[in-house]
Amino acid sequence: MTQDALKRAVAAAAIDEIKPLLHADCVIGVGTGSTANHFIDLLAAHRHDFKGAVASSEATAKRLRDHGIEVFELNHVGSLPVYVDGADEINPRLEMIKGGGAALTREKIIAACAERFVCIADASKRVAVLGGFPLPIEVIPMARSYVARELVARGLTPVYRDGVITDNGNQVLDCYDYLIEAPAELESELNDIAGVVTNGLFARRGADVLLLAGEEGVTRFT
Ligand code: 5RP
């Protein structure tokens, strides 16, 4: 199976996972990326079974609307029973690196609000230790060089993601080749650097459920 077919398979499993939660007043959180896109495409068939969605990026909002799914401002939504999103890496404790698509800040906000985070991924995303994938850090543009120096001082190797502006008008530094033994601690430490908006570690609020697609099918981890 191709990686894209695995992403489609896990998106289908996510539909089965959330179907029991859907009802006429229900608003769900929807993530960003190619796996989330498959989920959105399959969700379209169920659009009359729930009220709408909160989107973690402008791209996701557009795709949802194109499918006739109403998109709500998070500030106008009382509760969010579930958030479905992909990941760049996920470890056995369901801690993640996210932000490969530069949507990490809105993703983290929606994850914080959601009662349940369902991560959908193909098997290549599962790792023993996070850090093989470069850790994205969204920064206020004027703070980029300062934050980069602070990261270097902590042993990280940041590279400016040239030409990328996030939906929030900020820039992204990607930190390469740094194995993360204590994700929750590093997440907090990086948040404390002035000028950091969000870092791509989702450890303090990890996933509640991982649906992982491999050649043998989709496996559910909690
Ligand atoms: C976007 C993300 C995505 O969830 C992550 O990059 C995975 O993307 P894909 O499903 O395309 O592999 O965090 O900011």
Identified catalytic residue from 17, 95, 107, 150 = 107
Q: Is 52 in the pocket of ligand 1 (CB under 6 A)?
A: no
Q: Report d(CA 58, CA 81) in Å as an integer.
A: 21
Residue 207: closest CA among 23, 40, 35: 35
Q: Compute the distance from residue 103 Cα to the ligand 1 centre, in Å.
A: 8
Q: Compute the distance from residue 100 Cα to the ligand 1 centre, in Å.
A: 5
Q: Is 89 in the pocket of ligand 1 (CB under 6 A)?
A: no
State the complex-level ipTM: 0.98
pLDDT at 13: 98
Q: Is 134 in the pocket of ligand 1 (CB under 6 A)?
A: no
What is the pTM for the complete model shown? 0.96
Tens of pLDDT, residue by residue over 95-151, are 999 999 999 999 999 999 999 999 999 999 999 999 999 999 999 999 999 999 999
Residue pair 124/184 in contact by the 8 Å Cβ criterion:
no
Tens of pLDDT, residue by residue over 146-169, are 999 999 999 999 999 999 999 999
Tens of pLDDT, residue by residue over 27-81, are 999 999 999 999 999 999 999 999 999 999 999 999 999 999 999 999 999 889 9
pLDDT at 78: 87
Choose one of 7, 32, 89 to mutate for the ligand 1 pocket test, by most ligand atoms within 8 angstroms of C-beta: 32
> Which DSSP state fits 44?
G
107 is catalytic: yes
Does the annotation list 100 as a binding residue? yes
Residue 52, number of CB atoms within 10 A of its CB:
18
Q: Compute the distance from residue 89 Cα to the ligand 1 centre, in Å.
A: 9
